[in-house]
Structure 1
Amino acid sequence: MGIAAVVHAGGTPATAAPVADVDGRRIIAADSEPGNWMSHGRTYSEQRFSPLKRITEANVAKLGLAWHHDIYTRTARGLEATPIVVDGVLYTSTAWSHVLALDARTGAKLWEFDPEVDGTYAARACCDVVNRGVAVWKGKVFIGAIDGRLIALDATTGKKVWETLTVDRSKDYTITGAPRVVKGKVIIGNGGAEFGVRGYVSAYDAETGAMAWRFYTVPGNPEDGFESPILEIAAKTWAGEWWKYGGGGTVWDSMAYDPDLDLLYIGVGNGSTWNRKIRSQGTGDNLFLSSIVALRPDTGEYVWHFQTTPGESWDYTATQHMILADLVIEGRPRKVLMQAPKNGFFYVLDRETGAFISGKPYIALTWAKGLDPAGRPIVDPQQRYEDTGKPTLVVPGPLGGHNWHPMSFNPQTGLVYIPTRDAGAVYAPAAPDNYSLRPGAWRFGLDMTALTLPEDAKERIQAAKGVKGRLIAWDPVRQVERWAVEMPMIWNGGVVSTAGNLVFAGNAQGLFVAYRADTGEKLWEFAAGTGIVAAPVTYEVDGEQYVTVLAGWGGAVPIVFPGIVADAPSNGTNRVLTFKLGGSAHLPVAEKASSPLAPPPAIANSSAVETGRILFQENCFRCHGESAVGGPVLPDLRRSAAIGDPALWGQIVLGGALAFNGMAPFATQLSQDEVEKIRSYVIKSTHPA
């Protein structure tokens, strides 16, 4: 069935109407057609609140599966996208930057686009080959591909209209975030701070793909001049030769737009290296790392900024979801921007000026003792590992108190619903003579072995039990928690709230759940068979309200730290799941997993194994799990037949035999002897001590 045959949300045949006919006027007036979900956060304010209320606290127990659509890409990787739904058509991205258009009533596939990304790009992604969504505008669908391309597709056919390369491919840039379209310009950032890139955000003409402007978030080499006056000012907050380390500051996820103030808000990420001692001689605020920055969308002109973590050294990004709202604070209305970034504080800012209004910890934290009257953190000097030179337990760790998983603001309850986590980490600075700038290496400036869980199996289990998640309802006016739902694991899904007094969220247990928005009471759940990290949406077609979520386990924690989510289910099948009242569809019965292979005997000496352990932590654990404890998303190397065959192992690790699936060759990074030592460590890890 072609898209032209799909029915409008109001029931009118779509044959005479343009497909994905979305523009700024329509997004600004989104509340007048609540059946659609036309922008990443439904509206430019990114509140992720739906006025729909056919599904309510009173009848949500009757919710059932309406349809599911199985997703087939080259590998079953993480699904993080928020779907867009316009006039009965659902558009979404999947792993490897694929794009799908589905009939929103039935799940029937209308078209699919494969950008044919080179599999070796998986090695450039810090946290899986994920994508958080598409944008639509005037008959086009826009996707930021993981290999750095911005691609425009015809919304009717899925055919490519134009593409433009947004990054320098000689450096390890990637794109995982969803583009936004403002005033005819497609806004997109990128990732790569872990690999030593310089961050920026760019705007492209939606019709032609021509670049309109670019705003760099950190200054470059002063000898090359500065792209804007504000960067000359920012350079005074850096020291040494920071540009040699890239600087970081990538704009890899959150954005919002206020059409009345005509301000575009971007969230800026962590430093490169993480360790400020290396990148900036241990001094300076390092603007605009870990900042919220307001720009003019027509030109990219700087207007204001607020830095959440000056001189950050802990991967405390401020790229987390930003929400715009109007609140009454101390008796007067305020236009605010709200964010719960990684550092553990919930911020309320004046979105016109960037002035700090209030901020309180939304989780327990140790790195700061509070905020001063201007919102600047009062850092505990003992938590600056780069200054003490000692391994230091810091809370939160690099996973943050809240990560990319979107939160939601419900103007009816006045609450913000945040998927949070309690997880600290040990930061230990790398030895000065043991820091590498080689391509493809993580540029943390840390002793990578310190970030791992204990090697002992019993100690690992005990440590993992202390890492938990919560869904909290936060009062942004009083800056207090109103209710919370405890989760046994972290890495739980994003959130949507509705006028039916409901909050929908998936979790690492593989459950999709509806809660009462005012009290947190669980009202309904559905077993998806795999962990859910994406954020749901709700829409309406022909008078029927639907709720949709992408179910596919993956992302940073399942591939880098699978040991702390070892109980999370993953059936190896990625799906779009859509529900309605009275839905009666069922999921297929999952196949039983095959038995693991018997490990080969350990033959290497302890010195070779220890060298292999260090090499594994520096090169392999970002995809195959710290301490070689892999999970279900990517191959657990302890269960791989290749560890018993040195020739096959070399063909994969050095020769790129599995490059299409994302296993890039490491021939330029590792020697044959080093690869063999890594194999010896993986073999040893299969044998209990």
Structure 2
Amino acid sequence: MNIATLSRTAAAALCAALALLPGAHAAPAAGRVDAARIASSERDGANWLSHGRTYAEQRYSPLQSVHDRNVDRLGLAWWIDLDNDRGLEATPIVVDGVLYATLAWSRVIAVDARSGKTLWQYDPGVHKAKGRHACCDSVNRGVAVWKGLVYVGTLDGRLIALDAASGKPVWSTQTTDNSKPYTITGAPRVVAGKVIIGNGGAELGVRGYFSAYDARDGKLLWRVYTVPGNPAEPQESPELQKALATWNGEWWKYGGGGTVWNAMAYDPELKLLYVGTGNGSPWNREIRSPGGGDNLYLSSILAIDPDTGRLVWHYQTTPGDSWDYTATQDLVLADLMLDGVRRKVIMQAPKNGFFYVLDRATGELLSAEKFGKVTWAERVDKATGRPVETAKTRYTQEPSVQWPGPFGAHNWQPMSFSPKTGLVYIPYQELPFVYINGKRDFRYRNGAWNVGAGEEQFTAFPREVASGALIAWDPVRQRAAWKAPYAFHWNGGTMATAGNLVFQGTADGRFVAYAADDGRKLWEFGAQTGVMAGPVSYAVGGEQYVAVMAGWGGSAALIGGEATVATGVRNVSRLLVFKLGGKAVLPPLPPRPDQVARMPQPVTASAETVARGSRLYHTTCAMCHGVGAVSGGVIPDLRRSSDATRAAFPEIVLKGALQARGMPAFDDLLDADGLAAIKAYVMAREYEDHRRSAAPAAAASAPATAATPAPAAKH
């Protein structure tokens, strides 16, 4: 032992001895979370220790200092302006007065939960070109905290453990093959000492799986694939071998899909981990599995032994899914009285529009009813557990309009459950989609969207067909107890509290509190931006706080269209924290950046070129710059591009001149002629919009005629 080591050892011994002296108080270790603390937090609401607060993922806070009789006194305690220009979707984790959250591009922050002081920040250095593979913005939904470490999944597929006190990396492991378009946007969970992480990318052509890593050192312990691979090769499990019978064709060449990108829950008594799986790749079953088949385990709830990764039971919500009806929406555990018997259940409101109640020990279907507008199926047969599909549900060469569309009746925005009211609070949205069988013209393109649903003919959603609501759903009676309607879709996640409150952010820039029992609106705050993330509540020094990440973005904002633009919001990224008597005030919004002012000219390109540009735009550009070239307000609207920017399209689009800002190169999918056609289409859309907006102005300024007399002056 050298002198330096001896000195450090002596100092450590002295500190330990001092800590044992009467009256000495050692500071608590940062990130002190384990299974016992998560279990005790069922009753103690001071912390928010896991993604859904507890293993059951109910997003219910037992705190009640803020309640339905004093919530009108809730005010902004503090806020942080965040260096972030993409969507914020994270649920913060709060441990002993420290709040941990994520920003876009998988960055992590730690903040003093009482004062708002930033304690540390971590940037994993994700290459911005990876944003091309993120179907739904470069978002991240949060971290997990366990025994002094903070875990984050990154957009480029890494799982990183950070020291909770300093934010410094402890270990990092690559969970995906980066030669394929995998991404991670979901929050990890820690179960039985294992970090569970999935991934996304089904639309771009990947095979879904989720993995368990040792929480201490990042060692891979097991991996579960959700769809079978090439049948000529050995399958990874007996369950996948059985699933082969439900597939046809050469699906593995397209990836297959089934990604696990969001929902998980855990029952420590049954020792079962529950995960939800995603849509097929491509969406269109006629392409990925010609001849039909249920295509296990797409759009399913899986119950897994967390020690071995083996499947215990499964339930498929949408057999043979062709509509992007994922089952990756929240999985919530509860005990319900059903027909006079207390049952341990798992509940889900997936994209397909049915609310499912299952026995969480066996997977038995207990009930399933529509919680919104659903046209693809009449009902779910309780005897078989299968949906009864309506006529012409399976789309053909003729356009097929279905509710819900791929945004779902409920998407990733978290729902919550109150044991006090017995109600589930669902962020519901209602908008259809026009599906067309794209099998005839389908050509798989590596690294591009491959859905086979006529995506080259996608059109923007008319404003009048899109709406939303907060639905308070009774899972026992399987009906709505109350509903708060919204004019827009893509509203935020929910949180219920013991104070008879339910909180939710909205797409048009509000943060609202309702009475959980009857839906009375009790309080509202103008957030200045769309609020999508799930709120949390915690206590420091005996004072209750409510916190939410606010920042417009995500797939609806990227895919855009008139229904999204109508919200009128833009991205202003902040962490907002409230308490009773809070007096802080947000500053006024800065003016919007000046838009290009010019008189668009008719496009000289041929109609065939413009049509080709539309097809290429909608298969290459629309998922970020907006369907119909109508941006949702986060990514630049190409109809508003300056002449200089359009002249630089080859450098930007083909050579990646703006990669550092998140605009990757597309020279593998486009050539100069194709890019010129896209440019012609965008300019045609600009001129079309100009003519449409100019027509009412011209009509208003036209002289009055006998048939349309001018209004009389009023005195």
TM-score (norm 1): 0.95
SS state at 2:392 partner: helix
How many angstroms does 1:282 deviate by? 3.8
Count residues with an aligned counterpart.
664
Where do residues 259-274 of structure 1 align in structure 2 (5 Å cutoff)? Answer: 259-274=268-283
**Secondary structure of 1:31's aligned partner:** coil
Pairwise CA distance, 1:149:
0.4
Name the aligned partner's letter for residue 438 of structure 1. Answer: R
Q: Match of 2:442?
A: 435
Residue of structure 1 in register with 2:54 after alignment: 43
Deviation per CA, 1:241-267: give whole Å up to 9, x if none: 111111000000000000000000000
1:17 aligns with 2:17: no
Aligned-partner SS, 1:236? helix
Distance of aligned partners of 1:670 and 1:657 in 2 relative to their CA distance in 1, 3 Å threshold: same
1:305 aligns with 2:322: no
For residues 129-148 of structure 1, the aligned pairs below 5 Å read: 129-148=138-157
Query: 1-side partners of 2:232 and 2:393: how far apart?
Result: 34
> Aligned partners of 2:205, 2:243: CA distance in 1, in Å?
19
Shift of 1:439: 1.4
Spell out the pairing of 1:1-16 with structure 2 (5 A cutoff).
16=27
Are residue 426 (structure 1) and residue 406 (structure 2) matched? no
In 2: Cα distance, 1:205 partner to 1:23 partner: 14
Aligned to 2:474: 475
Q: Which amino acid letter does the alignment assign opposite residue 436 of structure 1?
A: R
Cα distance between partner residues in 2 of 1:18 and 1:646: 54
AA aligned opposite 1:663: M
Letter in 1 for 2:67: T
| Structure 1 residue 436: Cα displacement | 2.0
State the alpha-carbon separation in 2 of the partners of residues 199 and 267 from structure 1: 11
Per the alignment, residue 591 of structure 2 pairs with 592
Distance 2:115 2:561 in 1: 35
Instruction: Report the Cα distance in structure 1 between the residues aligned to 2:204 and 2:25, rounded to whole angstroms.
Output: 46
Aligned to 1:631: 632
Amino acid at match of 1:419: P
- In the alignment, the residues of structure 2 paired with residue 15 and residue 105 of structure 1 have an alpha-carbon distance, to the nearest angstrom, of 20
Structure-2 residue corresponding to 1:291:
300
Alignment of 1:523-538 (within 5 A): 523-538=522-537
Match in the other structure for 1:4: none
Contact 2:87-2:551 at 8 Å conserved across structures: yes
Q: Given the alignment of the two structures, is residue 96 of structure 1 paired with residue 95 of structure 2, yes or no? A: no
| Superposed displacement of residue 596, structure 1 | 1.4
Is residue 157 from structure 1 mapped to residue 166 from structure 2 by the alignment? Answer: yes
Which residue does 2:683 correspond to in 1?
Answer: 683
Mapping for residues 328-407 of structure 1, pairs under 5 Å: 328-373=337-382, 374-385=384-395, 388-407=396-415
Match of 2:454 in 1: 447
Residue 615 of structure 2 corresponds to residue 604 of structure 1: no
Residue 464 of structure 1: how far off its partner (Å) = 1.3
What is the CA distance between 1:14 and its match in structure 2? 8.6
What is the letter of the counterpart of residue 315 of structure 2?
F
Distance 1:329 1:372 in 2: 18
Q: Match for residue 61 of structure 1?
A: 72
- Residue 13 (structure 1) shift: 11
Does 661-670 or 39-48 show the bigger shift?
Answer: 661-670
**1:52 maps onto 2:63 in alignment:** yes
The runs of at least 4 consecutive aligned structure 1 residues that moved more than 6 Å come to none
| 1:655-676 deviations in Å (ceiling 9; x for gaps) | 1111112111001110011111
Residues 506-521 of structure 1: pairs in structure 2 closer than 5 A: 506-521=505-520
- Counterpart amino acid of residue 467 in structure 2: K
C-alpha contact 2:286 2:439 (8 A) present in aligned 1 = no
Render the CA deviation track for 1:451-495: whole Å, top value 9, x for unaligned. 313xxxxxx6xx212210010000000001010000000000000
Deviations 1:34-87 (A, max 9, x none): 1100000000000000000000000000000000011104xx000000000000
Q: Note the 1:73-84 alignment, pairs <5 A.
A: 73=84, 76-84=85-93
Give the superposition deviation at 1:437: 1.7
The answer to whether the 8 Å contact 2:457/2:618 transfers is no
SS at match of 1:305: strand
Q: Is the 8 A contact 2:561 2:628 kept in 1?
A: no
CA 1:683–1:253 in structure 2 vs 1: closer, same or farther (change >3 Å)?
A: same
Conserved in 2, the CA contact under 8 Å of 1:426 and 1:450?
Answer: no
Local SS of the residue matching 2:687 = coil
The one-character-per-residue Cα deviations of 1:409-464 (angstroms, maximum 9, x if unpaired) are 000100000000111110001142x21222121110121144313xxxxxx6xx21
Q: Which structure 1 residue ranges, 5 or more long, are not aligned?
A: 1-11, 454-459
CA contact (8 A) 1:134 1:143 kept: yes
Does 1:238 pair with 2:247? yes
Maintained 8 Å contact 1:531/1:569: no
- Give the Å deviation of 1:206: 0.7
Matching residue's letter, 1:181: V
Partner of 1:34: 45
Q: 1:381-415, CA deviations, whole angstroms, 9 ceiling, x for partnerless residues?
A: 41101xx3321001111111000000000001000
The amino acid across from 1:18 in the alignment is A
- SS state at 2:232 partner: helix
Structure 2 gap ranges (5+): 1-22, 692-715
Q: Distance in 2 between matches of 1:364 and 1:593?
A: 37
Tell me the secondary structure at the aligned position of residue 687 of structure 1.
Answer: helix
Percent sequence identity over aligned pairs: 55
Alpha-carbon distance between aligned partners in 2 of 1:29 and 1:342, rounded to the nearest angstrom = 33
SS at match of 1:627: helix
Query: Scaled by the length of structure 2, what TM-score is found?
Result: 0.91
Distance 1:682 1:57 in 2: 50
In 2, the alpha carbon distance for the partners of 1:486 and 1:236 equals 44
1:198 aligns with 2:207: yes
